[in-house]
Structure 1
Amino acid sequence: MQILVQNSQLSDLDIIFQFYDLAVAYQKKVFNKHWQDFSKELVEIEIAEKRQYKILVDGAVACVFAVTFNDQLIWGDRDHDAIYIHRIVTHPDYRGLSFVKEIITWAKAYAAENQLKYIRMDTWADNEKLLAYYTSCGFDYVGISNMEKTEGLPKHYEGISLSLFEIKVG
């Protein structure tokens, strides 16, 4: 099995949104919160800026994720020297292949090449199963961010609390 992390292309837009729809359906089944719609423009910008990625397994898209390099509204004063991972979605046919660990391996190399000190991510503060999973993947839990200002973030960030995770690189 060949696993490859690549930048997404505009031609992947439909697949990315199919994955988001699958993720929302899954979230509704297993948790009391779910993502709201993402704008096509947001994802197009991420693709143009080379911040939207896909994981291929033997040539097929198995997972998608996005990154950013600043996350002031979520991380506040700690927003520096980091790559932030967002919206990891694994296609149901590929669950169990530990793509978060694959993304961490990729992000460590990216961070080292770009002199970044942290790999960071967030999730709903009350999603115990996901919190345990992220720490089992090597992330340190570093606290909670209560979302008050959310202008510019997707709608599902309004009025929520997020658990924050990071891996110190190097």
Structure 2
Amino acid sequence: MVIKNVTITDIGEVFKFYKIASEYQTAKKKVVVWPAFERAMVETEIAENRQFKLLINNEIACIWAIAFSDKQIWEERNKDTAVYIHRIATDPKFRGNNFVADIVTWAKEYVKQKKIQFIRLDTLGNNIKLIAHYKNAGFDFLGLFNLKNTDRLPDHYQLAPVCLFEINLFKD
């Protein structure tokens, strides 16, 4: 397993992963489905080295993006130093490998020298299995929250309360 930055030549694969994830969410019927994400947003993340890929035998198995600020979702908590993980998507033939745990291990190393206190992520709706999955990967579940302002967020953030998760790296 190797983790690298996504390059602009991978952008087709990134959108393929998003499409597969949306189709999977649609098939589950009781979860919020990702919208079509804007290409410019992904291009910016790639240019800023904030899109990552997990490779197995040189094949992309999983992708995700990060941010260092997420004010609309994390509101007053956004003042903390944090890395925010977004849009984890896995190739179906690699599902079940618990890549979230690998991403957490990677994130802990990634932020170590940056003096960042939190690793955070969010998901939408009361998806009990996903909540348990993130908790098993080491995240504390902070609860479900109704966001105050979603005007610049992707459309799916208007459909359900947001579940917030974090790992406090300065705890203990």
- Normalised by the size of structure 1, how large is the TM-score? 0.95
Q: Does structure 1 residue 26 correspond to structure 2 residue 24?
A: yes
Q: State the partner residue of 2:86.
A: 86
**SS class of match (2:130):** helix
Q: State the partner residue of 1:164.
A: 164
- The residue identity in structure 2 corresponding to 1:76 is E
Q: State the partner residue of 1:6.
A: 4
Contact 1:51 1:67 in 2 (8 A): yes
Q: State the partner residue of 2:126.
A: 126
Matches of 1:56 and 1:28, distance apart in 2: 26
**SS class of match (1:116):** coil
Please list every run of 5 or more consecutive structure 2 residues that lacks an aligned counterpart in the other structure: none
**SS class of match (1:96):** coil
Q: State the partner residue of 2:148.
A: 148
Matches of 2:113 and 2:87, distance apart in 1: 23
Contact 1:82 1:116 in 2 (8 A): yes
Contact 2:65 2:85 in 1 (8 A): yes
Contact 1:147 1:159 in 2 (8 A): no
Matches of 2:160 and 2:16, distance apart in 1: 25
Matches of 1:31 and 1:50, distance apart in 2: 33
Matches of 2:77 and 2:49, distance apart in 1: 24
By how many angstroms is 1:142 displaced? 1.3
Matches of 1:152 and 1:70, distance apart in 2: 14
**SS class of match (2:34):** coil
- The residue identity in structure 2 corresponding to 1:65 is W
Contact 1:143 1:163 in 2 (8 A): yes
Please list every run of 5 or more consecutive structure 1 residues that lacks an aligned counterpart in the other structure: none
Q: Does structure 1 residue 100 correspond to structure 2 residue 100?
A: yes
Residue identity over aligned pairs, in percent, reads 41
Contact 2:119 2:166 in 1 (8 A): yes
- Normalised by the size of structure 2, how large is the TM-score? 0.94
By how many angstroms is 1:160 displaced? 2.3
Contact 2:66 2:83 in 1 (8 A): yes
